[in-house]
């Protein structure tokens, strides 16, 4: 195992736990996402795993060796763990290029140049390579700090909302690169995000954190198609909820049929409006019980008044 998190708990103030009884493992080459609303303790959890703040209970192991307790350390943390969060730890008076290459002293010179160039290219920092890191924008600093974290070649990479300020094309490029490096180096990656669609795209497993104690574990497919609750399912895209004789029916906007199907439930609907989304139309309806229902289709479903789910 790259990472073993065993029953950890943390509180900023006595007895008021941010999270409790959190356990999970991470295998070599695996990318795991932790998804939850803002304020649930995701950033705190990553700091705990990195050994930057002192756990109240439990322990964290990196490749079998325990992350030292923050209270016993002059400089807290574990050498094989890199955390990228909103607090950029860059060397202000070094250039962008130097910030990266300074992390690469473990490599022979030629490889150091090559890897620095690769990271400058992937993170689209080539044109800024000779600027001091204090003289680039916040978004560029975020990219640079992710590049520096990858340069360290940690066994375990912790990313706190890494895509929050990235353009769509960079999001895809960097997501793919991180997946490729995880696989190539058999590094473990923990990705924290409030946006479940990022988790669907980039991870092998997803943990949903909803109130510090409850974690559900899903594959991306399960998180999308088989969520246990409406609350959890709604992180991963639009989700319909209909009450049928006291039972709740959850289904995605693509999980329906317009032709009668004996294995499915018939639902009467009234069309309200359609919204063009580029690749599809989102058609909004009202059910007999007054619930909003959205169905995706390649056209406006104006005449539709019954679907099979
Ligand atoms: P998330 O990353 O999921 O948005 P955080 O880990 O940042 O959540 O915060 C979890 C909870 O802990 C929040 O209620 C937040 O207000 C609180 N918190 C965060 N940092 C501190 C701090 N330094 N002192 C006290 N409470 C904090
Ligand atoms: Mg956070």
pTM for the structure as a whole: 0.92
pLDDT at 287: 96
pLDDT at 72: 77
Give the torsion sign (CA, 232, 233, 235, 241): negative
pLDDT at 164: 83
pLDDT at 127: 97
122, with CB counted inside 10 A (0-12, 13-18, 19+), is buried
pLDDT tens series, the chain, 309 aa: 999 999 999 999 877 899 999 999 999 999 999 999 999 999 999 999 999 999 999 999 999 999 888 787 777 788 899 999 877 789 999 999 999 999 998 899 999 999 999 999 999 999 999 999 999 998 899 999 999 999 999 999 999 998 888 888 999 999 999 999 999 999 999 999 999 999 999 999 999 998 877 789 999 999 999 999 999 999 999 999 999 888 999 999 999 999 999 999 999 999 999 999 999 999 999 999 999 999 999 999 999 999 999
**Contact indicator for 22, 211 with CB cutoff of 8 Å:** no
- Answer whether 72 contacts ligand 1 (Cβ < 6 A): no
The answer to whether the 3-225 and 239-308 domains have the same CATH topology is: no
**What does DSSP say about strands 31-35 and 205-209: parallel, antiparallel, or unpaired?**
parallel
* Domains of the chain by residue range: 3-225, 239-308
Residues forming beta bridges with residue 267, ordered by sequence position: 307
Q: How far is CA 160 from CA 163, 253, 270, in A?
A: 9, 30, 42
CA distance 64 to 45: 19
Domain 239-308 fold is OB fold (Dihydrolipoamide Acetyltransferase, E2P) (2.40.50)
Shortest-distance atom of ligand 1 to CA 40 = 3
Domain 3-225 fold is Rossmann fold (3.40.50)
Shortest-distance atom of ligand 1 to CA 37 = 3
pLDDT at 167: 87
Nearest CA to ligand 1 atom 7: 43
Which residue has 């322990």 as its token pair?
59
pLDDT at 52: 92
Q: How far is CA 147 from CA 61, 84, 252, 267, in A?
A: 25, 10, 37, 51
């Amino acid at each position: 195992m790259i990472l073993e998190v065993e029953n950890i708990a943390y509180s900023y103030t006595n007895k008021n736990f941010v999270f409790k009884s959190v356990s999970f493992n991470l295998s070599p080459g695996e990318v795991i996402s932790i998804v939850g609303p803002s304020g649930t303790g995701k950033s705190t959890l990553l700091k705990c795993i990195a050994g930057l703040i002192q756990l109240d209970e439990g322990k964290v192991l990196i490749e079998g060796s325990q992350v030292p307790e923050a209270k016993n350390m002059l400089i807290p943390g574990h050498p094989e763990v890199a955390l990228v969060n909103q607090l950029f730890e860059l060397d202000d008076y070094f250039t962008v290029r130097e910030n990266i290459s300074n992390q690469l002293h473990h490599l022979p010179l030629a490889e150091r140049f090559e890897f620095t160039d690769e990271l400058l290219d992937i993170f689209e920092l080539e044109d800024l390579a000779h600027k001091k890191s204090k003289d680039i924008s916040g978004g560029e600093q975020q990219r640079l700090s992710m590049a520096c974290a990858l340069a360290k070649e940690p066994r375990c990479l912790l990313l706190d909302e890494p895509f929050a300020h990235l353009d769509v094309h960079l999001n895809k490029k960097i997501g793919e690169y991180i997946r490729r490096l995880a696989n190539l180096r058999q590094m473990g990656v923990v990705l924290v995000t409030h946006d479940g669609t990022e988790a669907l795209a980039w991870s092998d497993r997803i943990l949903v954190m909803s109130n510090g104690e409850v974690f559900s574990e899903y594959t991306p497919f399960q998180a999308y198609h088989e969520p246990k609750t409406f609350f959890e399912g709604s992180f991963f895209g639009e989700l319909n909820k209909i009450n049928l004789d006291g039972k709740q029916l959850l289904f995605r906007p693509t999980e329906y049929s317009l032709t009668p199907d004996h294995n499915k439930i018939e639902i009467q609907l009234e069309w309200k409006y359609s919204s063009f989304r580029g690749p599809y139309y989102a058609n909004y309806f009202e059910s007999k019980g007054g619930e909003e229902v959205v169905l995706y289709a390649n056209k406006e479903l104006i005449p539709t008044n019954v679907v099979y789910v």
